[in-house]
Amino acid sequence: MSVILYGLAATIVTMMAIGFYVAKKVKGDSINYIVAGRGLILPLAAATLMAQSLDSNATLGNTDLAAGFGFWAGAALPVGLALCLFLTGLFFAKPMNRLNLTTLPDFYRRKYGRTAEIVASVIMSVAYAFLLAGNLVAGGYLFQIFVGTSFQLGVFIIAGLVLAYTVAGGLFSVAYTDVIQAGIAFVGSIALIVYITANYGLTIPSGMGPTNLGQLTDPSQGAYINLATIVALGLGDIVAIDFMERVFAADSPETAQKACFIGAAGTLVIGVPFSVVALSANPILASLGVEAGNQAVLYTLLQNAIPPWLAALVLAGIVAASFSTSDGAILGTSAVIARNIGNIRVDEESTASPATAADGGVDGGFFGSESDKLLTVTRLMSVPITLLGVFLAIRVSATGMLLVLAFDIMLAGAFVPLVMGLYWSDIATTPAALGSMVAGSATRLVLFVLVPTTYAYENTLLYIPNDIFTAAFDGLPTFIAAAVGLVSFLVIAYVTKDDYPIYSVEKQSNPNIVAGGEED
């Protein structure tokens, strides 16, 4: 246990040291803080995109689901996230990087107007509260099991540490620490599957392996849930605020695209081995006379069946992953609230160039007079965002469910207007976007409170008992809500296409322009 504690301590100290060291690159500039001066080179851009998809939500959710329900129940997480990165590289990375955006809701502002910007911001902020919570849950359990704190105290510790260096360095801190996280995760996942194979052998329970495609075709084997997971992550993550933040931060459209493809490959290479290991976890633990109980199966396996040095390596990857997505969620949500809901703008034409932003310098202080207003407010908003994540983490302690629910909400409410605004701009009207966002997200939230389970987890957050929707309906709300959003957009667009002007995001070079030509 001392080896594990030393390993965790070394990881945390390293992450904090790097996060604070690179904070000097911010130099009081909100564009440096939010999108790293738009100057991330390929290794940094690829590492930070990969780390965003390999968070502790996905790792623990992956192993718990695979061990309990079969390979595809767990592997759906890395497969869905890799699919998102691949599709983004094909269709979205280049055009979105060229738009010179600071936050994702900026797109909705330029294309659909101020009201759409606010609605999209609210949808994304709610979704990201769940995403942040899921990562804090994983960190809380890790501290409880391996450090000896209570779960609640562990959540507060992780949240406080991440908040500290996120407030200091923004996306610079996120990107540079993500390089460490991705490296640790890669080595740890490969070493884990090699050790398990060599010492215990891979045991695949009947009907639970990767060749049992009934998990993707038969509803009685969880096909609805597994397919919904892949779709929610594969499409919903495209409109993730921290994910697109990383795309915007790449130093060129080509870098953004290549980083997505590298991230997709890395996500599969690191994520799928955890699904394979999880299939053998229960037989291994049974042979050792150990029961996982309510504890995460990966934690139980590391605690009882893995040598301390390897356990320390894998746990270092998990705690680094918890830091990675948590800091991105805090930063992205805070920036959206300050910039897109609070309507705080800066003169982005005068910001430092990417080359200058990467050189370093002295920040004007966390809240000093040399920091621009958007930077100051974004940093201040990090505190309530983190506290909300802590509250949800303690209230709903389910990692995999929180991860997919977050992207489910964004798929239902924000994906269709983004795709239509980019590729079918001539029919993309403001009423269509607003109708789609409201109808899709409202449908998903209504079904959430009416269905007793969400991705096989009991709904303990907010469930209204009824005789209409049962657990067999689980998974279908993902498709229904997305379909409602799409149909709403198309119907309203057809009705309003002749009565409302169509605005082009590409033709608006000034980032502060609202759809319609008005400037703040």
Q: How far apart are CA 506 and CA 99, in angstroms?
A: 7
For 43-91, the pLDDT digits (tens) are 999 988 887 777 665 677 788 888 888 999 989 989 999 999 999 999 9
What pLDDT, on a 0 to 100 scale, did the predictor assign at position 355?
35
40 SS3 class: strand
For 116-146, the pLDDT digits (tens) are 999 999 988 888 888 788 778 878 888 888 8
For 80-124, the pLDDT digits (tens) are 999 999 999 999 999 999 999 999 999 999 999 999 999 999 988
Question: What's CA 126's distance to the chain center, in Å?
Answer: 13
- Residues 72 and 204 sit within 8 Å (Cβ to Cβ): no
Side-chain-side CA neighbours of 234 within 13 Å: the count stands at: 18
Which two three-digit tokens encode residue 6? Answer: 């030393």
235 SS3 class: helix
What pLDDT, on a 0 to 100 scale, did the predictor assign at position 402?
63
Res. 409: pLDDT tops 50? yes
What pLDDT, on a 0 to 100 scale, did the predictor assign at position 403?
63
For 209-245, the pLDDT digits (tens) are 999 999 999 998 889 999 998 998 899 889 988 889 9
What pLDDT, on a 0 to 100 scale, did the predictor assign at position 517?
56
Residue 160: closest CA among 379, 371, 326, 368: 326
Q: How far apart are CA 511 and CA 101, in angstroms?
A: 7
What pLDDT, on a 0 to 100 scale, did the predictor assign at position 45?
93
Residue 40: closest CA among 355, 490, 458: 355
- Residues 117 and 230 sit within 8 Å (Cβ to Cβ): no
Residue 478: closest CA among 378, 394, 408: 408
Q: What is the largest CA-CA distance in the chain?
A: 70
Which two three-digit tokens encode residue 47? Answer: 């590492």
The larger pLDDT score, comparing residue 291 to residue 431, is at: 431
Res. 399: pLDDT tops 60? no
Query: Which structural domains are found in the chain, ordered by start?
Result: 1-347+374-397 (1.20.1730.10)
Neighbours of 499 (CB within 10 A): 8
Res. 364: pLDDT tops 50? no
